[in-house]
Amino acid sequence: MQFNYMNTNFFAAAAAALALVACKGSEMKPLNGYIGPSDLQITDGHMTPEVLLSLGRLSDPQLSPDGKTILYGVSYTDIGENRSVRNLFTVPVEGGEPTQLTMDGKSLSSARWSRDGGSIYFLQGGQLYKAAWANGVLGRRVQLTDVEKGIDDYLLSPDESQLLYVSSVHSGVEVPSDTDPLLDKAEAYATEDLMYRHWDHWRTEISHTFLASLGNGVVKEGLDLLEGELFELPNGPFGDIADLAWSPDGRFVAYSCKKLTGKQYAFSTNTCIFIYCPLTGETSQVTFRGGYDTHPVWSPDGSRLIWLSMARDGYEADKVRLMMGDVVYPASEEGQSANPSVTGICELSSSFKYNVDAPVWAADGQSIYFAALAEGIQGIFNVIPGEEPVRLTSDTLWFDFGSPFGVLQDGTLLTTYASMDFPTELVAVTDNSIRQITFENEHLLGQLDKHETEARWLTTVDGQKMLTWVLYPPKFDASKTYPAIEICLGGPQGTLSQGWSYRWNYLLMAHQGYVVVLPNRRGTTAFGQPWCEEISGDYIGLNMQDYLTAARNIKAEPYVSGVAACGASYGGYSVYYLAGIHKDVYDCFIAHAGIFNEEHMYFTTEEMWFPNWDNGGLHEFAYAEGQTGPAGDGVTFGGLKQGGSPWSTLEKARRHYANSPHKLVQNWHTPILCIHGGSDFRVPYDEGMAAFNVAQMMGVPSKLIVFPNENHWILKPQNALYWHRSYFEWLDRWMK
């Protein structure tokens, strides 16, 4: 076996720097409610859920205008208080001692440098503040906004005279007080269209973006860019301020928006790029039909615009392409205030087989940096328009790198990286050599016993190669036996890469004495679009055989005593389906937020484009009467043609529903744990209840756990701790 030792030995380089992690900010007095780094002592070298939840979570690095200092935030968790607080830090680009800027009891977020580097903007308590920064000290804070419904995110114009901020407006989903103010204590939701709830919330309000001037007193309200329209900006539920971008001269705003509502919204991913002029209030459309067009970014001189794009409407796992267009500014009597047009649109990634993510322009405007998951590892790439993308981080570096947030004059890239062995840290990358800048969690992770990770390329039943990561327990001894966990990936389109997760943490699993098996079965996104697309319309086909291939491969090892299959979302679907077909391959199952009954799922989920495509519709798209929707077998509903619906006559759709996991329960015989969040509107929690109920009726050892106030993910600290403890208690009961 060939092992990669780079991840496990990165701590050796950190040891010499450990003395540098004390913060200058220790002279500050913590405010009420402050949560700081954990002083947890690990005496046995063992990773536990408590250790996982005690780690600092570094995020959102920002390079100062002079290129010398990095501003970032770290969130710390107090399990007893069941909450986390995020505070601000700086660190020199060259590395060294971080400086803690704040010790607040309420989180600070979206921290940004002023253009002269002398001040820092940030959000706290839903409002925008500004504070002077000098010599590593944050000065008196000045409140810049007092917006009634609060601010979720913001974007300053280049000269800092104008502010775009995100707040909420009424969506059209009715509550009783909308009809009678005296019914303010009544609780009900009323709607006459689809998309009335999303992810984990009833859509009584949606995000809009507002424009306001700074410097004229505290901002209380701004101009709504979508006044009177029931569209979202940014796009829900996970869109952020990266959906908007100021032009370098501050005269225009490019933004991404899905200008659809109700059924049209629910069945379509047609999200387009628009340009808005603050001076005139005019909006022009840049892109039109297709799937998601997101993340617009102007070139430094404003002459070009890039964005990410999917070609096919309704297919959320389509290839993510990097597009570019020339920005043409028409002359006008109002001083060139007329909206520019974007011409000569072309794809910069047509020969690139992977998905592009988070593109940023080089300072000279001659090339573009971006991140991409490629062959199971996320690397950094650069593309010069008209040329082939070039990988800047070697695939021998077993880390997931983020897109650069800064490029130094000598070409050094400033970015983040993580692996299965450690969470996000800041790093400098030069010619494939890396220099870690922060060591946020070395004081905890450095106390853990080390383990080994292997990359196996398995041969599938149809002769293809599948990357399967294998993590071994610390102090692994091949002469002994260990239980194994096979992870069934959710999505279903995603990737098991060298990333870090606080929900499904493979290092933690290995430290509990398990061999952890991570097969990148077909449907994963880091191996080219053909491999990804083999899962759509074929949930029960070769990707299930891929799981069985990986399970049998590891089970054949003399040091493996048995295999459990565990997964979330589509991974939960996989668990429920494998429970009905595996015979004697697996010894235990855990399904989190899994799909059990595909017909019921179709009727109760919210983003209808997803099952309509993946459940066998695989539709091309028809445009008629101003509507966009999936073209399937000609059966229509609400003006939208259905491709992957339960009543579809398409062969793949009929096969899909005929083989829903709930149709195979007569074969269930293996212990199964079903977990679900009560606020999960993507896969409603009665899917988990139904699976558990059936297991009980069939006499299968089973357990149900429902978190009433959690969504598709378990996020609250004490809930997360209970989730992890329950996960391992179930595995240990049946596997050890």
Helix/strand/coil percent split, the chain, to 5: 20, 35, 45
Longest CA–CA span in the chain (Å) reads: 83
Q: Which helix (H) or strand (E) holds 168?
A: strand 162-170
State which amino acid sits at residue 332: S
Q: Is 694 helix (H, G, I), strand (E, B) or coil?
A: helix
Point out the catalytic residue in the list 54, 167, 403, 569: 569
Q: Mind giving me the DSSP string for 565-617?
A: EEEETHHHHHHHHHHHH-TTS-SEEEEES----HHHHHHH-S-THHHHHHTTT
Counting DSSP H helices and E strands in the chain, the numbers are 14, 44
Exposure string of 7-46, with b = 16+ CB inside 10 Å and e = fewer, is bbebbeebeebeeebebbbeebebeeebbbbbeeebeeee
DSSP state at residue 254: E
Q: What is the CA radius of gyration of the chain?
A: 26
Angle at the Cα of 277 from the Cα atoms of 271 and 279, rounded to 5 degrees:
155
Q: How far apart are CA 683 and CA 237, in angstroms?
A: 15
Least Cα distance to 730 among 708, 710, 701, 706 occurs for 701
Tokens coding 454: 């292997």
Please confirm whether the linkage preceding 492 is cis (ω < 30° from 0): yes
Q: Is 50 exposed, middle or buried (0-12, 13-18, 19+ CB in 10 A)?
A: middle
Active site residue 600: no
18/248 Cα distance (integer angstroms): 41
Which residue among 538, 680, 686, 702 is the active-site one?
680
CA 312-313-314 angle, to 5 degrees, is 115
Task: Give, in degrees to the nearest 5, the angle at Cα 565 between 563 and 571.
Answer: 160
Structure tokens at 687: 């899917």
Contact 275, 236 (CB under 8 A): no
3-state secondary structure of 350: coil
Neighbour-count burial of 524, counting CB atoms closer than 10 A to its CB (0-12 exposed, 13-18 middle, 19+ buried): buried
Cβ-contact 413, 428 below 8 angstroms: yes
Q: Is the peptide bond before 404 cis (omega within 30 degrees of 0)?
A: no
Look up residue 460 and give its two tokens: 């599938």
| 198, 451, 676, 712: the active-site residue | 712
- Look up 680 and say whether it is catalytic: yes
Give dist(CA 49, CA 553) in Å, integer.
Answer: 29
Q: How far apart are the C-alpha atoms of 232 and 243, rounded to whole Å? A: 11
CA end-to-end span of the chain, whole Å? Answer: 25
Cα–Cα distance, 686 to 674 (Å, whole number): 11
**How far apart are alpha carbons 533 and 399 in whole angstroms?**
26
Residue 434's DSSP bridge partners are 429
For 231-376, list the strands marked E by DSSP.
Answer: 244-246, 253-257, 272-276, 283-285, 293-298, 304-309, 321-328, 341-347, 357-361, 368-374
Whether 712 is a known active-site residue: answer yes
Task: Give the position of tokens 């450690």.
Answer: 422
Query: Residue 568 contacts by C-beta under 8 Å, 6 or more apart in sequence?
Result: 490, 503, 504, 591, 592, 593, 594, 712
DSSP characters over 406-464: EE-TTSPEEEEEEETTEEEEEEEEETTEEEE---TTHHHHTTSPP--EEEEEEE-TTS-
**Checking phi first, is residue 96 left (phi over 0); if not, alpha (psi -120 to 50) or beta?**
left
Instruction: Give bridge partners of residue 347 from the DSSP assignment.
Output: 323
Residues with a known catalytic role = 569, 680, 712
